[in-house]
Amino acid sequence: MDVDAVLFDLDGTLCTADQSGEQLYFGAFDRAGVEPFGRPEALWEALDYPPPPGGWRASLIAAFAKVAAAHGRTVDAEALAAGFQEVADPGAVSFRPGAREALASAREVGPVGLVTNGPERRQGPKLSTLGLEGRFDVTVFAGDAVERKPHPAPFRRALDALGVDASRAAYVGNSLEYDVAGAAAAGLVSVWCPDVDGTEPDGYRPDHVIEHVGDLGSVLRRGDRP
């Protein structure tokens, strides 16, 4: 791949959350003093992503209320949302295996950037845990802006800051819907590294697919064009 800069997604690409869905979901019931019901998957499904203008808390309250309604329960959704946020530690993340190697390989190519859909308030503690604070040549927290991935705007902001043409940059991400589609819309070379085994690209067309993010180096060193 012949590029001059590499941009990365954060969640699910460079890092994974240390807290399980069960820990967060049932922890919220515990904090709120509500007898638990349901499963975390239903809550994730009910959550708006990206969060609505009312913010993460509003989205959590609505989602808990929805899950409760599906179970025919009436609960204090505000208490559950508050409990959830008490339990959730935004800085509890670890590097995905191979992520450090991927960053080092990208660094050999040129400037390295981060384009994440989360707001700085949520993503900053993760970068600090990983020792990545201030380590990118450009960081775009799209969650603090109006346009988020898959909109091309956050990619353009990063490229403008670096002075690199979109066609000369690669974007590495785990999401087809946000990363691969967004990179394509902005004209970057997309590199998809699924974080769930056996996922198929369906209708999406990543320019490159790597099984592990640590394989990025071999793709970058290959001289071919996508």
Q: What are the residues binding Mg ion (CB under 5 A)?
A: 9, 11-12, 174-175
Burial of 8 (0-12, 13-18, 19+ CB in 10 A): buried
Tokens of 87: 């339990």
Q: Which residues contact 87 (CB under 8 A, 6 or more apart)?
A: 19, 23, 24, 27, 28, 30, 31
Nearer to Mg ion, 83 or 154 (CB): 154
Residue 73 corresponds to which tokens in the numbers above?
A: 């329960």
Residue nearest to Mg ion (CB): 12
Tell me how far, at minimum, the Cβ of 119 lies from Mg ion, in Å. Answer: 15
**Catalytic (active site) residue 9:** yes
> Which of 75, 216 has the CB closer to Mg ion?
216
The two structure tokens encoding residue 118: 């989360």
In angstroms, what is the minimal distance from the CB of 9 to Mg ion? Answer: 4
Kindly tell me which of 29 and 192 has the beta carbon lying closer to Mg ion. 192
Per DSSP, the three-state class of 1 is coil
Active-site hit among 2, 9, 48, 195: 9
Shortest separation between residue 174's beta carbon and Mg ion, angstroms: 5
Just list the catalytic residues. 9
